Each structure stands twice: as C-alpha cells, then as structure tokens.
C-alpha cells in the first residue's frame, strides 16, 4: 500500500500547540475526530465535533485517566494489517474501526522533573497509553500516519493537499522514524531519572543516552569527516551550544570543541577578578587574572602570542570595549563570555567573521555528571573531573616552606594544568601563565617545552628574563623521576605543585631540597587525555 486516505484521526496531546487548527482542518476535510480528556475539550470549545475514546471502547476513562486508550478497540484499529483477510475479518467481527492518523505527544516528564516536583508527581507524569499508541501506529506505518511533534503539522497539511486527502508511504516512514525516536528518548529520560535521581546509582546496569539534532556541521575535525551537534533532551548545564551567537560564521566542530575547552577553564575562576583564557587546539596557551579584563588579556596574550593566532578567547566577566578592541587586533576565531557591552559589540562588529558567543552565566566547574568517550567495541564513561584543591589540601614535603605568593601561584597553575592535555606542565607567576607544555609522551619534555615557550615570550616582549624565573610550576601527575623537576628548576621555578604518589617521591623530594625550592603534594591527579 502506498497512499492512505485519512478518514479517522485520534488526537490526544499534552502539548496543545496548533491542535485546534489541526482539528479544524481535518474536520473540514471530512475526517472523523476521536479524542480524550483535555484535548477533546479544547476541540469542542472550538466548535468541533469530537467522538470520545470511551464511545469507541465502551469503557469510561478510569483510574484518574490511567486507563483510557489501552483497549483492543483502539489498538486493533491501529495495528490491523488492512489487506490481510484474517485481520480484516477480525475487525469486522468485533466492529473495530480503522484509525488512519494518530496525533500524540507525551506527558511532560522532563519538565516535571525540572520543576522540582515530588516523586509521586513525577511518577504520575510517566505516560503509558501515549507511547503505546505511538508505537502501535509507528509499527503499522504502512497504513497509519503518526505525528508526535507539532512542528510536523504543516508537513501533514502539505501531504493532504498534494495527495487528495491522503499521505504517502515516504511521509509515513519519516514520521514513524521520528515517533520511535521520541518514545526512545522519553524512555531514556525516565530510566535515567530512576537510575540517577531516584536510586542514586553512578553506573546503572543499562545506560541510554538520548539527544536531539541541534545542527549539522560543515565537517568534523577534517574536511573528509562528517559531523553534527546533538543537544540533550533532558536537564543539562548551559554551555557553548546554548550560547547566543551575536555574530560570525557558523561554528565548526573544532570551534565547538575548543570553545568548550576555553569555557571549562575560565569557569574555574570566580567573577570577583577578571580572567582571560586563550585556547588553541583544545589546550590553553595563555591564562591570566588581573584587576581589569584588558590587563588580563594583555598578560594572557604575552604568554604565547604565536599560538594565540587563530585561537579561542574566553572571559569570566562581561566584555568591555577596550578589551574587545584589543582582541580584534589579532586573528581570533571565537570569543565567549557571560556578556558584552555595546562598545564591545561595536568593536567586534568590525570583524564580521569573528564568532561572538554570549552565555549569560558560567557553568559550575564543580558540577557532577558523566563524561563519555567511544572506543572500538564499547563506550567509556567516567565521572567528571570536578576535583578542587584549596590551600588547606596542600602537603608541604620539602624543607623549605613556600611563601604565600608561591602558594597562590601554585594554585593558579594547578587550575590551569587540570585543563591541559597530559603530560601537562604549567608555569605561573603573579596570576599569569608563564609557560605551558602539553601532550608530550614524557613529563621532562613538557617541562622543557613550557620553558622554551616562556623564553620566546620574554624575547618577544623585551623582558630581561622569562616569567618562569621565580614561578610556581604545576604537574598534572607525579614526577616519576627527578629529571622533570630539575628541568623546572633550570627554568627558574622556585615552587612545585604535584600530586605525589610515585615510587620515587623520596628521590624527587631530595632533588627539590638540594635545589632549595619548595614543593607541595595535592594527593589528586588531573590526567586529561
């Protein structure tokens, strides 16, 4: 069967957007309307003739509406294979009328959860009859049209107009696919709530991940790869996908990934002091806090002005005109911040290809949640790295005690190192990164690379010495040998912050003592692969 004429429609929706218009158009075309509860009332209030489901089933709605459509008179009309003689005979014998169109959207389970409702209210908003009708209609899409999204009503109007009151098999297939996706996402939200919120499981026996297409992207990391952005169906932290894009070209896969990295790091710094983060290829290349946002930008840029070209910039406070103008003096792909004043927007407007993203509020770096990574043959999940270290968590392991300034610089460097790809080494001084070494196969090379970057920055700025002199250095994991620490000493670091825990900790501590520097252990590692 290809085209199927719509003669009887069952309408039962929670979201009543456009339902009266739909009912009126169907009624005008001579379609018999069958409905339930509030949907039936809305249609009748609009002057439309509606047949109650109870008139078809012979049973009233009961148990507070829990039982109304779960009946052979409904599901027989949905599931019957109409050109099967046995099915046709059963329909005739039991006076089951065919239902050609089902328009259903489900109880607002996710919205109920997000509203902070109590457990009983949440349970009551688990739809049973709706998904059953959706699945029956979608399974039998050879004969039945299913709509689950008000956005598809106009597509139905076009179908009926172009095909003399009927729908095509292609349309029904597309709507069936969308319907099964809707019920799958709905069940995923319910199972996730039960597992995480109700039962407080960290890793449930079965885990489903549902999302809706946000946008298709020009390509992935490379032009030969296809890519798309999906958005969570349920409650989610605000991030780059939810930001308002004020100007610029569409965001690419790499833009989204890099902007997320920049946002994650800049959110670590409270808004009581302006911070700037510059990211390139998902690694920070310059980070600074200062009394003004412009000063923070200038200090972060000076850390590695070469890598900053074509990078991503994130701020933890709204952008002002002077800072925006300074940012536009180099090629920048994306700027993201909680806000931007009129002067800043005007400055960025002079660079129409620059993407300006306004988020409104910063994500909480300490929030719980799971990170996901696919591998061949499986999916890896882990809890987010939301670990935070304060001064009270530090254990001094050297003879020399660190100064207050060294502790402040060490904690700053530690925050940055958490967001640098392993092996990570970060030098910092006076709230500014001095050098960053990322993604090397050994810690010694990361330390040396960071020192080289610092030397190049000093030469470019005309400083008498690199900022690594007198700096604190953070290592995202323990030093397995003393060589990495000695490289930091050669660069001029006077303070080391690292997790500790190596079999050779005593050797590393002895090297620090011999060099006369201070060192603290955090007891926490921040690998980032």
Q: Which residues are catalytic?
A: 139, 281
DSSP state letters, 341-390? -HHHHHHHHTSTTSEEEE-SS---TT---EEEEEETTEEEEEE-------
Q: Is 213 helix (H, G, I), strand (E, B) or coil?
A: strand
> For the chain, first and last CA: distance in Å?
53
How far apart are the C-alpha atoms of 6 and 156, rounded to whole Å?
11
CA 57, 58, 60, 63: dihedral to nearest 10 degrees?
Answer: -60
Q: Is 253 helix (H, G, I), strand (E, B) or coil?
A: helix
- Rounded to the nearest 10 degrees, what angle do helices 153-162 and 19-28 cross at? 10
Q: Do the Cβ atoms of 362 and 266 come closer than 8 Å?
A: yes
Nearest CA to 493 out of 514, 512, 521 is that of 512
Q: How far is CA 424 from CA 77, 80, 178, 271, 438, in A?
A: 64, 63, 45, 26, 5
Q: How far is CA 49 from CA 46, 58, 100, 169, in A?
A: 9, 19, 18, 29
How far apart are the C-alpha atoms of 237 and 239, rounded to whole Å?
6
- 492 φ, ψ (degrees, to nearest 5): 105, 5
Nearest CA to 487 out of 462, 460, 515 is that of 515
Q: Do the Cβ atoms of 102 and 147 come closer than 8 Å?
A: yes
Partners of 34 in beta bridges: 10, 51
Measured from the Cβ of residue 273, the count of other Cβ atoms closer than 10 Å reads 15
């Amino acid at each position: 069967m290809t085209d199927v004429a719509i003669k009887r429609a069952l309408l039962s929706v929670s979201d009543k957007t456009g339902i009266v218009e739909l009912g009126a158009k169907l009624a005008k075309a001579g379609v018999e309307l069958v409905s339930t509860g509030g949907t039936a009332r809305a249609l009748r209030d609009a002057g439309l003739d509606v047949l109650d489901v109870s008139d078809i089933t012979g049973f009233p709605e009961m148990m507070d509406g829990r039982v109304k459509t779960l009946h052979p008179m409904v599901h027989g009309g949905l599931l019957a294979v109409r050109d099967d003689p046995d099915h046709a005979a059963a329909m005739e014998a039991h006076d089951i009328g065919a239902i050609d169109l089902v328009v259903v959207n489900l109880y607002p389970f996710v919205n109920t959860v997000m509203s902070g409702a109590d457990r009983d209210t949440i349970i009551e908003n688990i739809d049973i009859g709706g998904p059953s009708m959706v699945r029956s209609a979608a399974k039998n899409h050879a004969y039945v049209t299913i709509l689950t999204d008000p956005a598809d009503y106009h597509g139905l109007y076009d179908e009926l107009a172009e095909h003399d009151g009927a729908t095509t098999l292609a349309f029904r297939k597309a709507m069936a696919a969308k319907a099964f996706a809707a019920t799958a996402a709905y069940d995923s939200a319910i199972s996730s709530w039960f597992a995480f919120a109700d039962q407080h499981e960290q890793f449930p026996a079965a885990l489903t991940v549902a999302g809706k297409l946000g946008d298709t992207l020009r390509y992935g990391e490379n032009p030969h790869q296809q890519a798309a952005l999906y958005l969570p169906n349920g409650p989610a932290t605000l991030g780059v996908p939810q930001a308002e894009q004020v100007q610029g070209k569409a965001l690419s896969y790499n833009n989204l990934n890099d902007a997320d990295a920049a946002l994650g790091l800049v959110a670590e710094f409270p808004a009581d002091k302006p911070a700037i983060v510059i990211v390139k290829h998902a690694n920070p290349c310059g980070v600074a806090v200062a009394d003004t946002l412009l000063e923070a930008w200038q200090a972060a840029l000076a850390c590695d002005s070469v890598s900053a070209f074509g990078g991503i910039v994130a701020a933890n406070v709204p952008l002002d005109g002077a800072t925006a103008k300074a940012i536009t003096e180099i090629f920048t792909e994306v700027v993201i911040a909680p806000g931007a004043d009129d002067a800043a927007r005007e400055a960025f407007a002079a660079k129409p290809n620059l993407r300006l993203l306004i988020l409104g509020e910063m994500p909480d770096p300490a929030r719980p949640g799971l990170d996901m990574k696919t591998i061949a043959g499986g999916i890896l999940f882990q809890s987010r790295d939301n670990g935070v270290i304060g001064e009270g968590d530090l254990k001094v392991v050297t003879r020399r005690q660190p100064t207050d300034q060294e502790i402040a610089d060490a904690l700053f460097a530690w925050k940055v190192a958490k967001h640098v790809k392993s092996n990570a080494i970060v030098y910092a001084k006076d709230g500014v990164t001095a050098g960053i070494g990322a993604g090397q196969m050994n810690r010694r090379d990361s330390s040396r690379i960071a020192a080289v970057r610092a030397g190049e920055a000093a030469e470019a700025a005309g400083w008498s010495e690199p900022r690594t002199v007198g700096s604190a250095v953070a290592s995202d994991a323990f030093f397995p040998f003393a060589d990495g620490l000695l490289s930091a000493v050669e660069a001029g670091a006077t303070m080391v912050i690292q997790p500790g825990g190596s079999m050779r900790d005593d050797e590393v501590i002895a090297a620090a003592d011999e060099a006369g520097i201070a060192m603290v252990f955090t007891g926490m590692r921040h690998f980032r692969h």
